[in-house]
C-alpha cells in the first residue's frame, strides 16, 4: 500500500514525525506496548523518513534526549547557595 501526503498532510508532518520517533525510541528501550505500536506504524514511518530525512533524524535525537532526561533523578529543590 502506497502512502501519499496531501497538502494538509504536510502540515501534520512535524507532529507525526515526533510521535513516530518517540514511539520508536520507547520501543528501543524495551517498552512492549510501544514496540507493537511501532511495528503497526512502520508503514507511515518509512515514507516519512524518506520524504523528510532531516526531520526524522532530528526527532529521533530529541526523543532519545527526552527519554534520557526523564530517567535522571532531579533534585527536589535547588541547592542552597549559602552552603
Asked if 35 and 77 count as a contact pair (C-beta separation under 8 A), the reply is no
Q: How far apart are CA 7 and CA 63, in angstroms?
A: 26
Asked if 20 and 45 count as a contact pair (C-beta separation under 8 A), the reply is yes
Q: What is the pLDDT of residue 11?
A: 81
Per residue in 5-34, pLDDT (tens digit) is 566 667 888 999 999 999 999 999 999 999
How far, in Å, are 10, 11, 23, 69 from residue 51 at the CA level? 10, 13, 19, 29
Per residue in 32-55, pLDDT (tens digit) is 999 999 999 999 888 889 989 999
Amino acid at each position: 500500500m502506497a502512502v501519499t501526503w496531501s497538502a494538509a498532510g504536510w502540515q501534520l508532518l512535524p507532529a507525526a514525525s515526533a510521535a513516530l520517533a518517540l514511539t520508536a525510541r520507547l520501543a528501543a528501550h524495551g517498552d512492549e506496548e510501544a514496540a507493537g505500536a511501532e511495528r503497526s506504524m512502520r508503514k507511515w514511518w518509512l515514507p516519512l523518513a524518506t520524504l523528510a530525512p532531516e526531520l526524522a533524524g532530528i526527532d529521533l535525537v530529541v526523543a532519545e534526549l527526552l527519554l534520557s532526561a526523564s530517567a535522571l533523578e532531579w533534585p527536589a529543590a535547588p541547592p542552597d547557595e549559602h552552603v
